[in-house]
Amino acid sequence: MATKTAQNGKEDLDIKIRSRKVNVYYGDTHAIKDVDIDIEANTVTAFIGPSGCGKSTFLRCLNRMNDTIDVARVTGEILLDEHDIYARDVDPVQLRAQVGMVFQKPNPFPKSIYDNIAYGPRIHGLVANKSELDEIVESCLRRAALWDEVKDRLDEPGTSLSGGQQQRLCIGRAIATAPHVLLMDEPCSALDPIATAQIEELIDELRQDYSVVIVTHSMQQAGRVSQKTAFFHLGNLVEAGSTEKIFTSPEDERTQNYITGRIG
């Protein structure tokens, strides 16, 4: 859970993730260059930018998913609650349980809906018995706004759901490990507008309890769901700030050009 609730207003919120001089290399390619950014708790932060600008790469640094790519190399410092997640004593597996992730394409496990949610709590030993697990599954599915649709068919495979439902199931699965941060890598790009609207509504609700970082191609979406926006271009973090400011009076010319559709 977030370290501090939203009662004091947005301006006083804690910094959840702090990155300093982060560089990412894929072999010889320098994908991310000296990115410094602060991500606030209980806020939706949107990463926008043209294709290949490194926003997904940077997102994957936040839960060390880049570790699974042999050629990827990360330098710099990323602090989660003031602890360096790239420190030697940090176990990336444990980290990923605290920093949940939702992927571009809905990827439920080909198991039952129940098992999709229950898998994370089970392997991390979050529950003592079956009834606790049942409670977690129900509350996660409720929070993912999926409970009413699936409560009678928890035994059916997760893959039998529609695309939007699958993505909500994936969100439910991500929050089932009780993370502090939710990373979303273009969660709506494979969905139709109605499903997209549902997910966006859900993201807004999730902000109460989690720091949400969302990568999106759609500036409208960034405008709708996020409070903070960061604009990436060619591996550089060009500009970050409140969404309103980025969209109305960007400081950098490149941001201006991207917002107005001149580059992209």
Instruction: Give the one residue of 123, 153, 251, 263 binding other proteins; rule: CB under 8 A.
Output: 123
Select the residue interacting with other proteins from 7, 51, 94, 129 (CB under 8 A).
Answer: 94
Cβ neighbours of residue 109 closer than 8 Å, sequence gap 6 or more: 115, 116, 119, 158
Among 113, 145, 170, 195, binds other proteins (CB under 8 A): 170
DSSP secondary structure letters along 44-62:
EEEEE-STTSSHHHHHHHT
List the interface residues with other proteins, window 131-160 (CB under 8 A): 157, 159
Find the binder of other proteins among 41, 48, 65, 150 (CB under 8 A).
Answer: 65
Report yes or no: 80 and 86 within 8 Å, Cβ to Cβ: no
Q: Which among 3-11, 116-124, 144-152, 238-246 is the span making contact with other proteins, rule CB under 8 A?
A: 116-124
Q: Which helix (H) or strand (E) holds 255?
A: helix 253-259
Tell me the C-alpha distance between 233 and 13, whole Å.
27
Q: Distance between CA atoms of 178 and 190, rounded to whole angstroms? A: 26
Among 10, 73, 83, 93, binds other proteins (CB under 8 A): 93
Q: Which of 23, 107, 242, 256 binds other proteins (CB under 8 A)?
A: 107
Residue 71 or 87: the one with the smaller Cβ distance to other proteins is: 71
CB of 92 to other proteins, least distance (A): 9
Site for other proteins in 173-192 (CB under 8 A): 173-174, 176-177
Nearer to other proteins, 105 or 245 (CB): 105
Contact between 96 and 65 (Cβ < 8 Å): yes
Note whether 165 and 199 are within 8 A (CB): no
Binding of residue 69 to other proteins (CB under 8 A) = no
Helix axes 163-175, 113-123, angle to 10 degrees: 20
Helix axis angle for 130-143 and 163-175, nearest 10°, is 130
Closer to other proteins at the Cβ: 159 or 256? 159
| Interface segment toward other proteins; rule CB under 8 A; list 79-87, 92-100, 148-156, 248-256 | 92-100
CB of 215 to other proteins, least distance (A): 14
What CA–CA distance (Å, rounded) separates 228 from 240? 7
User: Which residues in this chain contact other proteins in the complex, by CB under 8 A?
Assistant: 63, 65, 68, 70, 93-98, 100-103, 105, 107-110, 119-120, 123-124, 157, 159, 170, 173-174, 176-177
